[in-house]
Chains A and B, each alone.
Chain A
Amino acid sequence: MKETFATLFLGMFLWGSASPAAEPAGSAVRLTSAGRLMLDKPSGRVDQVVPLGGGRFAVRDTDYQHEQNQFLEIYDASGKRAGRIGSFGRGPGQFFRLKDLAWASSNTLWVADVVARLTRFDLQGKVQGTRLVLKPGFHIGSLVLDEPRGLYYLTGCVPDRVYLDLGCTLIHQYDLRNGQYLKSFLKTDPEALEKHLLSLEDYLIDLDSQGRIFAVDVPVFKVFRVDPVKGDVRTFPLASRIVRQAPELIPGDSLEKMRRAYEQAFLIDRILVADPWVLVSVRKPDGGFLLQVLDTEGRLAAGDLPSPGRLVGKSPNGGFYFANRAPKGFEVVEYRLQKTVRGGAR
């Protein structure tokens, strides 16, 4: 009898240790580690990791509190820094506030700066071209390339009625060949307007393999799926027992109050799509991140997964990168989402 209990206990222990920590009861998916890399980066931040091919990575390090400390760095496959690209500034080839990166098959790194400028660099840091976002004009939130369809998308608030706080159109489609503006999608969510959340808002997007756009407005706990061909928008509310919705803000409140509201809010930090999964990372006010996992049809596969780090990018083979500060640099770990035996995407 004792042996039976001991075997059962040992079995449960082994099963528990083999299962990843990021799998609460009822989850249809779990994260499994698929590789790790130590970046030789003793200081700064890792806000985004973009694989460049040949094992190299671009790393975006953006400290908006100290804008001069923004860097765009290239690392080789061993994690050693191979160079830096661009510098802080407002001119062409510089960046004022780095917002997003994308790697194009033409071996150029697209860099979106908040000051309405897209810059294309080669990996030696030479500027291949710049493009201003003029008509409509807006401050860029994020950038995603859709090379199979010859398009790219930017997010930013284009006011519907002159003033940004009265509502905007958020996603803008461009021709990849000539940069021509084509059309815009997705209006500001009514919740953001009713609660006057403009000062917390930021608009993040990613694409699935069909070219559908998955978007979030960071203080609003919803995912929007936009079909750019049909123009229809579907809204998928996220469910969480931990996340508190952003409180209503008072327009004209002091910067200090707005800053406190920003620090105390649960805000979506990133949305990434790797078919069939949509991974949404939520920043907790007390530090750390939570993950929400949906499938591309908007069905929740897992909610409130503890995140193994900050979600910073996705790999070419369907994995997701998470970054953590380590004693001598940053550790970037690739995880894959797998269906659990008892769950599974429906």
Chain B
Amino acid sequence: MSSGPDRSQPTPTFYLFCIAVLVACVAVLGWQVRKLHDRPGFHIAGVDPRGVDRLFTASLQSADGMSFDLARLKRRYAVVFVFTSADCSACLPELESLARISARRKDIQVVGVLAYGNRDEGRQTQESFGFKFPILIDPQGQVLSAMHLPKTPWKLVVNLPVREVIFQDPPSVTGEEREAFFQRVTRLGYF
């Protein structure tokens, strides 16, 4: 009668090997998904890239009167919410979900761009919705015009170091749509 090791049972080394392969697969998958997220133009539909350049080159003032230069930000991502005072009532509550993004991810800069407005109206917007992220004033709607957006409000998620739009989103009307955008943005950079 032989008393050697039972070859029908996997050894602990085998378990460790499987776990290592699994971790490697997950890492590769995550890396690929992240690359996909960051790939410029992957989700772009409509926005004029030259208009996005205007975001970085136009000298826009914030509602509190300070100049704000998007190009100097050290963060990786920015969520730019372009809106006008005329935007639909069901769409402006998006500002509240942007405030949630701003609170959740400190590495993502949320910026509002108020077209056809003045500083007073920018401050009113901040007070009404109770958030602290900057509202930039585009009094003549020049940045808005340059972007050729199909409608407003419009959301752009920008990769700041390369100044490219990662993805964009039309107005969210329902709470589900707002939540989907929130989830998508807060997962940025993770897989």
Residues of chain B with a CB closer than 8 A to A138's CB: 89
- A276 interface contact, C-beta 8 A: no
Residues of chain A with a CB closer than 8 A to B140's CB: 91
Of B2-10, B42-50, B115-123, the stretch lying at the interface with chain A is: B115-123
Bound-state Cα–Cα, A162 to B88, Å = 11
B89 touches A159 (CB 8 A): yes
- A205 interface contact, C-beta 8 A: no
Contact partner, B92, options A90, A131, A135, A162, Cβ 8 Å: A135
CB A157 to nearest CB in B, in angstroms, measures 8
Provide the A152-169 mask, 1 if CB < 8 A to any CB of B, else 0: 000011110011000000
Bound-state Cα–Cα, A134 to B126, Å = 10
B125 touches A162 (CB 8 A): no
B116 touches A91 (CB 8 A): yes
**SS class of chain B's interface: helix, strand, loop or mixed?**
loop
CB A201 to nearest CB in B, in angstroms, measures 15
- B139 interface contact, C-beta 8 A: yes
Contact partner, A162, options B115, B117, B124, B174, Cβ 8 Å: B174
A130 touches B120 (CB 8 A): yes
A135 touches B129 (CB 8 A): yes
Of B22-30, B66-74, B79-87, B105-113, the stretch lying at the interface with chain A is: B79-87
- B13 interface contact, C-beta 8 A: no
Interface residues on B, range: 20 to 34
Q: CB-nearest residue of chain A relative to B141?
A: A90
B118 touches A137 (CB 8 A): no
Given contacts A90-B141, A162-B174, contact A137 B121 (CB under 8 A): no
CB A155 to nearest CB in B, in angstroms, measures 13
Residues of chain B with a CB closer than 8 A to A159's CB: 89-90
Residues of chain B with a CB closer than 8 A to A89's CB: 116
B84 touches A115 (CB 8 A): yes
Bound-state Cα–Cα, A163 to B175, Å = 12
CB B143 to nearest CB in A, in angstroms, measures 14
- A221 interface contact, C-beta 8 A: no
- B173 interface contact, C-beta 8 A: yes
* A window 131-189: CB within 8 A of B: 131-132, 134-139, 156-159, 162-163
Contact partner, A137, options B88, B117, B120, B141, Cβ 8 Å: B88
Q: CB-nearest residue of chain B relative to A135?
A: B128
Residues of chain A with a CB closer than 8 A to B128's CB: 132, 134-135
Which of B90, B118, B125, B175 has the largest number of chain A CB atoms within 10 A? B90
B124 touches A137 (CB 8 A): no
CB A296 to nearest CB in B, in angstroms, measures 31
Bound-state Cα–Cα, A158 to B117, Å = 22
Given contacts A134-B92, A134-B125, A135-B128, contact A91 B139 (CB under 8 A): yes
Provide the A281-301 mask, 1 if CB < 8 A to any CB of B, else 0: 000000000000000000000
Contact partner, B90, options A115, A129, A162, Cβ 8 Å: A162
Residues of chain B with a CB closer than 8 A to A96's CB: 86
CB B3 to nearest CB in A, in angstroms, measures 74
Bound-state Cα–Cα, A157 to B125, Å = 20
- 8 A-B contact pairs sorted by A residue (CB < 8 Å): A92-B121, A114-B86, A131-B121, A135-B92, A138-B89, A157-B89, A162-B90, A163-B173
Sorted from nearest, which 6 A-B pairs have the closest CB atoms?
A115-B86, A137-B89, A90-B116, A134-B128, A135-B128, A91-B116
